[in-house]
Amino acid sequence: MSFLDVMNVYPLIGVLLFIVLSPLVGGIIFGIDRIITARMQGRVGPPVLQPLYDIFKLFEKEKMVIHESQNFWIFGYLIFMIITGALFFGGSDILLVIFALTLAHVALILGAFSSGSPYAHIGAERELIQLMAVEPMIIIAAVGFYEVTGSFNTLDIISSGSPLILVLPGIFIGFVYILTVKLRKSPFDISTSHHAHQELVRGLNTEFAGSTLGMVELAHLYETAILLGFIFLFFGLAAPIIGLIVVALIYLIEIFVDNATSRVKWGLMFKSCWIVTAVLGVVNLMALYLI
Amino acid sequence: MESIIFLILFPLFAGVIMLALPNGRGRDSFVNFAGVVTCIGSLYLLYEYFGKGAQFFFVDGTFIDPLITVAEIAIGLFIIGMSLKFRKYLIAVLAACQMALITYTDVVFEPSHYAGYDLFIDEFSLIMTVIIGVIGSLICIYATGYMKTYQEHHKDVKDKRPLFFFLMFLFLSAMFGIVFSNNIMWLFLFWEITTLCSFLLIAYAGDEISWKNGFWALLLNVIGGVAFAGGIFFINAFSSGSDIYLNELLTSSPGIALVAATFIGFAGLTKSAQFPFSSWLVGAMVAPTPVSALLHSSTMVKAGVYVIVRFAPVFEANLIGIAFAFIGAITFLTASAIAISQSNAKKVLAYSTIANLGLVVACAGIGTEEAVWAAILLIIFHAVAKSLLFLSVGSVENQKHSKDIEDMGGLIAAMPKVALMMLIGMAGMFLAPFGMLISKWASIHAFVNAIPPFGMLLIAIIAYGSGITVFFWTKWMGRILEVRTEREPLETEASKPEMRAILTLGALTVLACLIFPLISYTMIEPYTHTIYNSVSPLLSLSNEIIMLFMVVVVILLPVSLFHFAKGRTLRRQYMGARVSEVSGEHLRFLGSMGVMKEAELSNYYFEGIFGEEKLNRAGVLSTILIIVMLFALVSWFVPLEVIM
């Protein structure tokens, strides 16, 4: 039985692998990220598994909150991020994946809003701008997949006969552009950043501590796995090795850009995302008819 | 058939009785009674015709047809009289044109001589009936409580409550008429009644601005009325005659059907407040909240999209349909974007209504089976969620004396029940797995198969609009949840009738999300299958299960609150390491000059990018251009077929 048959019959395998493995994979990616970043800054950097140790530690800490309801939203964020990934790796409708991802982020934003804190408030508003900035590109990417493969299901998309990037180059570049926003990388890390030098108070995450922050970090690991999986769809099973190499390369480029640039104003981030979406995404979509 | 006639006539007679009843508990109980009867009546109709497909009824027209002509002329004369009295000569001229067209048609072509089925009912009509009957009467029940408070707060507004309730019920009666009429002449009469009712209800407060907005709504709707009358004239003048019956018209030659659909669809655009006619619905918010709720959810605008969706099969795969789809899509994008820059809650709701109807019109313009399916689902979800939101905002307004979203900060602490209902309503408007999102998902599925390259452009518009929608709803939700300091909730959040209506609608919103596959299987799909002669199910089972699973997760999530309430240390917000204090609703911090300062938070509105005036102008100009192209298309291509 080929990979596809197995996935068709047992979609739950993909779901389980995602739930179990992505924190580990995501943790290692983040660990490598931190080491490379440290080397670029002339430091040695932490062990590879440090991001995971951090999350374990966060769950041990005192549970400080402003309102109890805050955790409810963050728990929702984590749950829906997992559901998003389960849908994605279980091979279902990619539009549902996108909408579930939006739902997860809305939960995170509401959690930040509900704290009633000025810093979290600004962070939440900025996260919302980010959400609005990236949504069109993601939907257009999904429709691009459909136009080529004739299906919205991730399983059908990944098993496309030829790599989708060949006919969707504009959408690919556009998606990589907004990936910077989604991964919270500089220069588009306007709602909250991984780097201490970018901000004095951690924007969106200001009022999350202990296990709450742990859940936020865990959800971010899951999200990274989903986003990199999305990039992989452009290559699919037609060119899996190249796909993996490109995914790694793109993440490396993100790290370099992250360290080489400083945060821009929200207006520039927002407008550039929308313009890139229109110029690369929409034009690519229209061009599909000419090919 | 008796139950259909009952539903059309009962609200009318109940309304007439209300006209005679004085203010007080007696009238309120009668309104409640009439509301409950209308509601049960519509549910009985659902029971009676459920699963029976399309049914047509023959009515002896000897008495009714002259009556309809007389009623149409009376409405025309009333409109002309009112507009002359207030010196709105343009409206008078347009109304006279419309009356002349209809009278000429009546006298010269004598459409009443054709034999055909005047009334009908099918799954789509049934869905509309339940929406009108249940939501409409809930709004009327809510109004008994709201209008009492309203009159107490607005001493300067003359108390015309008997007229108010008469108009509300007349509205329901006319809406029932619209969805049951197979005879276009009948449909037109009910159509005109809704125009008239909305005009009088918008102008209820009787001050200058109310009259101004009322007449503006009247003007735009009379423009639509002229187009409708033109369509009727066209059908009578150029077709074989029996085409004045909707079922015949839809299947008649493409030339006749397309031209009629264009004219009547144009009237639908005015009624459903699409760009460039959207301004009347925004202006309509000067009316008391129940009126807005009624106009936005179950009546008026829904009459507009109802006729457009009825004609959707005619629009399939031709440029005229594409033109309608673009008007809808541009409306969706522009109105959503304007909603970002608004802080007036009712205005945000108004623009979001316009936007959602735009999506319905876009689906109808595409006209494929999947698109029609999406359009009907959108109508259902929008009706419940939007009425819930309007009624909740109305109750908040009565408590806080403000419609401003900025004044709703921490509402969840002050008015937990109403705020929770608002959150449900908003989630229903844009979040997965709730209603509207299913429809948005379905409409994207439908657009990808539309005529290239228009389908792709529509998708792009929807993609941008979708991001915008998330923004303005979430920031409002955030505002409601943003509790800076703990406080005791109000003892009574709203009067009893208000609360009853709000809670029922909240439950209905959740219920609609849970049973939508059922609605789809038993009503929407049979309808689309009959219209398109197909059998394929539109929503795959696995996707349905996923959506239901997500709904269940959302419903179960609050259970986690029990866990999260235990063993927490409560801290105050981080205030930049300054000294801070909490007193009552206020959160203060030590400012740099040694004075305690209030921490104030407010939302982003981006007026520079999403300014109302700028976007309105762009939306109106581009849609006017499309309408000009639409009529150019009609006048160039279609007459050939008519002559043949």
Residues B24-68 have pLDDT tens digits of 888 999 999 999 999 999 999 999 998 888 889 888 777 788 888
B474 and A139 within 8 Å at the Cβ level: the answer is no
User: What tokens appear for A231 in the block?
Assistant: 């990039």
**What is the domain partition of chain A in residue ranges?**
3-287
Return the higher-pLDDT residue of B153 and B565: B153
Query: Average pLDDT over chain A, rounded to whole?
Result: 91
Summarize the confidence of residues A274-289 as an average pLDDT. 92
**E-assigned strands of B440-529?**
none
Which of B201, B266, B278 has its CA nearest to residue B232?
A: B266
**What is the domain partition of chain B in residue ranges?**
311-644
Which of A139, A144, A169, A134 has its CA nearest to residue A271?
A: A134
Q: Is the ipTM of this complex over 0.85?
A: yes
Summarize the confidence of residues B142-151 as an average pLDDT. 90
Residues A106-154 have pLDDT tens digits of 999 999 999 888 999 999 999 999 999 999 999 999 999 999 998 899 9
Summarize the confidence of residues A70-74 as an average pLDDT. 90
Which of B136, B120, B123 has its CA nearest to residue B309?
A: B123
A232: buried, middle or exposed (CB in 10 Å: 19+, 13-18, 0-12)? Answer: middle
Contacts of B486 (CB under 8 A, 6+ apart): A67, B413
Summarize the confidence of residues B307-336 as an average pLDDT. 93
CB B483 within 8 A of CB A70: no
Summarize the confidence of residues A151-176 as an average pLDDT. 93
Residues B330-363 have pLDDT tens digits of 999 999 999 999 999 999 999 999 999 999 999 9
Residue of A66, A83, A265 to mutate, interface with B, max B Cβ within 10 Å: A66
Nearest residue of chain B to residue A135 (CA atoms): B467
Give the gap in angstroms from C-alpha A264 to the nearest C-alpha of chain B.
Answer: 17
CB A49 within 8 A of CB A28: yes
* Chain-centroid distance, C-alpha A26: 11
CB B507 within 8 A of CB B431: no
With a cut of 90, say whether residue B140 has pLDDT above it.
yes
pLDDT at position B243: 77
pLDDT at position B176: 95
Percent residues over pLDDT 90 in chain A: 72
Residues B500-536 have pLDDT tens digits of 999 999 999 999 888 888 898 889 989 998 888 887 7
B543 and A93 within 8 Å at the Cβ level: the answer is yes
Nearest residue of chain B to residue A109 (CA atoms): B478
pLDDT at position B516: 86
Residue of A81, A95, A283 to mutate, interface with B, max B Cβ within 10 Å: A95
Query: Average pLDDT over chain B, rounded to whole?
Result: 89
Q: Which of B482, B550, B560 sits opposite A100 (nearest CB)?
A: B550
DSSP string computed for A68-83: THHHHHHHHHHHHHHH
Handedness of CA B208, B210, B211, B215 (dihedral sign): positive
User: What tokens appear for B387 in the block?
Assistant: 């009425």
